[in-house]
Amino acid sequence: MVFYSIIVVIVFLLITIFLGYLGYKNTKSSQDFLLAGRKTHPLIMALSYGATFISTSAIVGFGGLAANMGMGLLWLTFFNVFIGIFIAFVLFGKKTRRMGHRLNAHTFPELLGKRFESKFIQGFAAALIFLFMPIYAASVIKGGANFVQTYFGIPYGISLLAFVLIVAAYVWMGGMKAVMYTDAFQACIMFVAMMVLLITAYVNLGGFTAAHQKLTDLFSNPAIQEDIAKSVSTGFQGWTSMPKGGSPMWWSLVSTIVLGVGIGVLAQPQLVVRFMTVKSDRELNRAVFSGGIFILAMTGVAFVVGALSNVLLFEKTGKIAIMAADKVNDNIIPLFIKSFLPEWFAAIFLVSMLAAAMSTLSSQFHTMGTAAGRDLYEKSFGKKGNTLTMTKTATLVVIVLSTAIAWSSNGLPIADGIIAKFTTMFFELTTAAFLPVYVGALYFKSLPKAAAKWGMISGSAAWFVWTFFVHSNASYMQICKLLTGKTSIVLGTSLEKLSMVGTTFIALPVAIVVLAAVWLAKGRSGKLDIDEKVIDKCFANV
């Protein structure tokens, strides 16, 4: 069976390498490398967008969370489809594409920088991406490498280097074209694997109605009361119910996970840039349906199967999912695969996990490389040189940096579920730092440069303070404890409950208020700090 798995993985890798080579052969200019020549087919764009959005975090990390929190996590699926696809493509995508074409912008930071005639805004946005996305990328690398290590029993270092080298090769050679070709292929594998997961879960439980009734009844089963006692004390009311309103689990689910990730998708640099790869609004309209179906299948299936795994594992082992998985959140979905699916499917699922990790990682590498090479080095610092060469060099630098973080993190006592946590943190950062400015750039001609700048700075500062010094979700990083002796500065005070509140709830309003205040102050002066010709160019139809 291991031999069969190796063959399946080799075939998958050969196809991936071939698609990367096609991207390399068709990359003739910096525009090809950065934006795939702005002529991407809508289906490829939609699949690439979805595959970039969905990684091992959604399938394994958030699937495991659903096993603990229940199907209330499906609200995140709703946000992902409605906001991440419909709102993003229709209300943001079209204006982004038009403005990007008009300004000849090749990256998300460059779009903001040219819109507001500000090297600072472009450089600051690029710096945030360069500084914080490597941690996010490292968690994806670690997830993929760990999966390979566990499945084949090879050393972590070898699995990590092999995994990174393959992704790095086609990103470095073929740029955005290679990334989008391979993303589309990997998305198809992911879709098939998730459909098999869903069908298997419901067949084993006697159908849709019977499965959900069993999951509801499990909550009151006397045999598991001791295992769920801690969860119940934090607001858990069963896998088919939302947590108790206002409880710690409710705040974690709603303010951190659903809103943090559900809204944050609108301002993800690696996703926004895909709107600029198509040549007309028609392509974006055509991509909405396929993109929505894909995201629904990926997140919806992972969350449903994660919750249902409790019934299946209880019937087989007498334990709910988290206990059967030795209290390791990220082991729940792999345990389900091992326990209830045919052995031959293990190889397919392995490939789907590689596909999920590689598709996200390739886009992260590309985004970080363009941010460092084009936005920081060339545009903000004013250094002259060949754009393609500088971007490729920067891409190699961030690949090495991300790999080093993933390598050094192995074996450290880092909290379980680190992939999902780092994903949420980065989404919260982009929401606070980029979303108000991004909305203003697309919809408000009179938004001044100063308001955009201070909105971005204040949102980033609020995110940093709340994430690392107040919110309990990042307490495992020990930054607050190192400086103050406590995991949160509000612990032991009358404001202790604030540690439950997600960062998006705080940082996003701060950014909006500061942006509005500076806008109002500038408006009273009667002076617009952006050339009116640039404004007219930004809002002209393409």
- The model's pLDDT over 238-283, given as tens digits with 9 standing for 90+, comes to 999 999 998 989 998 998 888 888 898 888 888 888 777 777 777 7
Long-range CB contact pairs, 312-319, < 8 A, 24+ = 312/201, 312/204, 312/205, 312/336, 312/339, 312/340, 313/339, 314/218, 314/221, 314/223, 314/224, 318/223, 319/224, 319/227
pLDDT of residue 131 exceeding 80, the answer is: yes
Domain edges within the chain = 2-538
pLDDT of residue 403 exceeding 50, the answer is: yes
Query: To 10 degrees, what angle do helices 418-443 and 108-115 make?
Result: 30
pTM: 0.83
pLDDT of residue 477 exceeding 80, the answer is: no
**Higher-confidence position of 333 and 186:** 333
How many other CB atoms sit within 10 Å of the CB of residue 323?
17
- Condensed to tens digits (0 to 9), the pLDDT of residues 330-375 reads 778 878 877 887 766 777 777 777 777 776 777 777 788 778 777 7
Q: What pLDDT, on a 0 to 100 scale, did the predictor assign at position 386? A: 63
Q: What pLDDT, on a 0 to 100 scale, did the predictor assign at position 415? A: 45
**Higher-confidence position of 465 and 10:** 465
- Distances, alpha carbon 518 to alpha carbons 505, 506, 523, in Å: 21, 19, 8
- Over range 418-446, report the average pLDDT: 88
pLDDT of residue 53 exceeding 70, the answer is: no
Q: What pLDDT, on a 0 to 100 scale, did the predictor assign at position 413? A: 46
**Higher-confidence position of 94 and 184:** 94
- Over range 510-535, report the average pLDDT: 82
* Top CATH class, 2-538: mainly alpha
Of 8-17, 116-125, 430-439, 454-463, the least confident: 8-17
pLDDT category, 190, cuts 50, 70, 90? confident
- Condensed to tens digits (0 to 9), the pLDDT of residues 298-329 reads 888 889 999 999 999 999 999 998 898 887 77
Above pLDDT 90, what percent of the chain?
23
Q: What pLDDT, on a 0 to 100 scale, did the predictor assign at position 17? A: 72
pLDDT of residue 530 exceeding 80, the answer is: no
pLDDT of residue 1 exceeding 60, the answer is: no
pLDDT category, 233, cuts 50, 70, 90? very high
- The DSSP string of 198-249 is HHHHHHHTTSHHHHHHHHHHHTT-GGGHHHHHHHHHTT---TTSPPPTTSHH
The whole-angstrom separation of Cα 179 and Cα 79 is 26
